[in-house]
């Protein structure tokens, strides 16, 4: 293959499966000996990852790079928008903080980012045989077409062929495919080359007449129908799409071997309640817990679920003070504090760890100073500089590799008066010397806090820590023989590549990647 080929994978909607299809194509191309890189011009997500060079990119592009077996880098996601509220997003440009984009500036302010994205794509195409680009949302969001550089704007600029993915499981996929094409202007339509159906369950022959009709109406092929792949949960961009992230959702291991191992003991599962913050960040931290046999993870905003769980996790947050206020409004703070008083385990990760402090001084995100939950002997101060790092360490002799993304810095604060709610308990804890360091954070009795994301992807550490949690509450849980987290992810990457190879017209896709959009594609007439 000639160097510099490209393809844009778009979708009829958000969460249609663009990321999964991109992952599958990247791994399939890699198997063919083609050196491929993933790319997303602009990603809006609070799920991110730190590359080895200290740059920050969207988590989905990091996984896609894993699928391509190449080192993740900032050029693969040159613009990352991290929503801090409904009207503002923090901009990460080529892996580094780059200010704030407000809602009123979205259509115009992003124009200044397009040049960086275009240059990054050109650089990747100069170094790789092929670049598989992922779109954002839907290319038919015509209210955002002016200044677009992620979907059709990117395709037009770089002369990329576009394949549109439709989620058939949602219903309405045939109309969505036709409507996506019909809403585009003629110049954009000439880049949309065909469609892929995703998440199909049942007999494809039942669907075939509809697909044939779509081809007749649009003059474009359906390149294939990908089946519903049970147990594939590749890291999502959208925090609200992780495990459903609805009001109360349950995650259990998606690995068949892990599921059977988890059932073999016959005892009740170890239950983990993860608080569903409105601005949850790096929620993928709980994936490794959910993949452990015999562990059930519930994503919840219900104080009753928090009270009843064996372990409660406060995950990361893009707006720590705001999400803490939200917790207090729902009574979740009372449930968490009551657990600590009773000696029941609580874990805070990054923003969740910051909430466990005695006080939070935040002139950066919220402009406020507020009391924390008072469960750890720390004070958190937010600074303008963001910490991006790939730390390593150990716990109880188990190696831990992780990553850090945060503005807040926690310092030990033994001299400050503890929060009133835990005055007696905290004084006793100090005198008993029950505080210890924990992965660049602190442990106080049954309360644990760390700034490190991704720590639980380390199998030996995760299992040893869960054993200690289980022993704390008198639970019988012990690790079962099952694949490790990295092995499970690798299995899923290969399953996606297998699906691409089996169910898609890979010959046609290779032709698109190497030669670009074919000429002569018909244009649908749209009333103006």
Closest CA to 316 of 82, 72, 94: 82
Closest CA to 57 of 71, 70, 76: 76
Q: What residues have CB less than 8 Å from 263, skipping those under 6 apart?
A: none
- Interval 331-348: pLDDT, tens: 999 999 999 999 999 999
Per-residue pLDDT at 106: 56
Question: How far apart, in whole angstroms, are the C-alpha atoms of residue 195 and residue 6?
Answer: 16
What's the start-to-end Cα distance of the chain, in Å? Answer: 41
Predicted pLDDT at 424: 37
CATH topology of domain 5-232+489-512: Rossmann fold (3.40.50)
The dotted CATH code for 256-482 is 3.40.50.880
Query: Using 50, 70 and 90 to split pLDDT, how confident is the model at 125?
Result: very high
What is the average per-residue pLDDT within 364-377? 89
Instruction: Say whether 401 sits in a helix, a strand or coil.
Output: strand
Catalytic residue list contains 453:
yes
**What is the full DSSP assignment across 305-351?**
HHHHSSEEEE-EESSHHHHHHHHHHHTHHHHHHHHHHTT--EEEETH
393-405: per-residue pLDDT in tens? 999 999 999 999 9
Which of these is catalytic: 90, 453, 475, 503?
453
Q: How far is CA 224 from CA 6, 163, 191, in A?
A: 19, 11, 19
Q: Start-end ranges of CATH 3.40.50.880 in the chain? A: 256-482
pLDDT tens-digit readout, 6-16: 999 999 998 89
350: annotated active-site residue: yes
For residues 358 and 254, the model is more confident at 358
DSSP letter for 199, please.
E
From residue 335, how far is each of 30, 276, 371 by CA, in Å? 49, 14, 17
CA distances from 249 to 60, 246, 297, 301, 455 (A): 22, 6, 8, 10, 23
Question: Is the pLDDT assigned to residue 222 strictly greater than 60?
Answer: yes
CB atoms inside a 10 Å sphere around CB 216: 8
- Grade residue 107 by pLDDT with cuts at 50, 70 and 90: low
Mean pLDDT score across all residues of the chain: 87
Question: For residue range 404-436, what is the model confidence (pLDDT) as tens digits?
Answer: 998 888 888 765 444 333 333 444 443 334 678
Annotated catalytic residue, options 133, 191, 350, 407: 350
Instruction: Give this prediction's pTM.
Output: 0.87
Q: Are strands 192-200 and 36-39 parallel, antiparallel or unpaired?
A: unpaired
User: Does the structure show a pLDDT above 90 at 143?
Assistant: no
Residue 251, pLDDT > 60, answer no
- As annotated, the residues of the chain forming the CATH 3.40.50.300 domain(s) are 5-232+489-512
Indicate left, alpha or beta for 468 from its phi (over 0: left) and psi (-120 to 50: alpha): alpha
CA dihedral 122→128→134→139, nearest 10 degrees, is: 40
């Amino acid at each position: 293959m000639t160097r510099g080929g490209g393809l844009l994978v778009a979708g009829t909607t958000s969460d249609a499966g663009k990321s999964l299809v991109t992952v599958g194509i990247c791994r399939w191309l890699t198997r063919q000996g083609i050196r491929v890189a993933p790319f997303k011009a602009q990603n809006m997500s609070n799920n991110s990852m730190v590359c080895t060079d200290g740059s920050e990119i969207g988590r989905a592009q990091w996984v896609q790079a894993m699928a391509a077996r190449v080192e993740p880098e900032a050029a693969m996601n040159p613009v990352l928008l991290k929503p801090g509220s409904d009207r503002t997003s923090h901009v990460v440009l080529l892996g580094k903080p780059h200010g704030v984009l407000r809602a009123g500036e979205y259509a115009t302010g992003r124009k200044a980012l397009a040049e960086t994205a275009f240059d990054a794509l050109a650089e990747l195409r100069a170094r790789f045989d092929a670049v598989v680009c992922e779109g954002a949302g839907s290319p038919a969001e015509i209210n955002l077409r002016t200044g677009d550089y992620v979907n059709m704007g990117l395709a037009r600029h770089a002369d990329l062929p576009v394949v549109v993915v439709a989620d058939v499981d949602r219903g309405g996929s045939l109309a969505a495919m036709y409507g996506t094409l019909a809403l585009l202007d003629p110049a954009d339509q000439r880049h949309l080359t065909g469609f892929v159906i995703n998440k199909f369950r049942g007999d494809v022959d039942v669907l075939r007449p509809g697909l044939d009709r779509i081809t007749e109406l649009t003059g474009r092929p359906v390149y294939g129908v990908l089946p519903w792949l049970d147990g594939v949960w590749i890291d999502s961009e959208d925090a609200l799409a992780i495990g459903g992230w609805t009001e109360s959702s349950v995650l259990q291991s998606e690995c068949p071997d892990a599921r059977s191992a988890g059932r073999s003991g016959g005892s009740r599962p170890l239950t983990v309640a993860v608080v569903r913050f409105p601005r949850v960040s790096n929620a993928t931290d709980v994936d490794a817990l959910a993949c452990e046999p015999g562990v059930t993870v519930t994503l919840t905003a219900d104080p009753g679920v928090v009270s009843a769980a064996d372990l409660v996790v406060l995950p990361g947050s893009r707006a720590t003070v705001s999400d803490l206020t939200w917790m207090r409004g729902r009574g979740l703070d009372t449930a968490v504090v009551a657990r600590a008083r009773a000696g029941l385990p609580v874990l805070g990760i990054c923003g969740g760890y910051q909430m466990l402090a005695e006080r939070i001084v935040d002139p950066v995100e919220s402009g406020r100073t507020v009391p924390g939950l008072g469960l750890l002997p720390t004070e958190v101060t937010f600074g303008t500089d963001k910490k991006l790092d790939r730390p390593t360490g150990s716990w109880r002799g188990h190696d831990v590799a992780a990553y850090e993304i945060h503005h807040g810095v926690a310092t030990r604060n033994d001299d400050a008066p503890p929060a009133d709610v835990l005055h007696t308990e905290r004084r006793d804890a100090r005198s008993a010397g029950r505080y210890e360091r924990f992965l660049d954070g602190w442990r106080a009795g049954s309360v644990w806090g760390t700034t490190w994301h991704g720590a639980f992807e380390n199998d030996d550490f995760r299992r040893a820590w869960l054993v200690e949690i289980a022993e704390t509450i008198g639970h019988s849980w012990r690790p079962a023989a099952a694949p490790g987290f990295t092995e499970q992810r690798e299995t899923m990457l290969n399953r996606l590549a297998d699906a691409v190879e089996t169910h898609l017209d890979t010959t046609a896709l290779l032709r698109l990647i190497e030669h670009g959009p074919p000429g002569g594609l018909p244009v649908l007439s749209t009333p103006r």
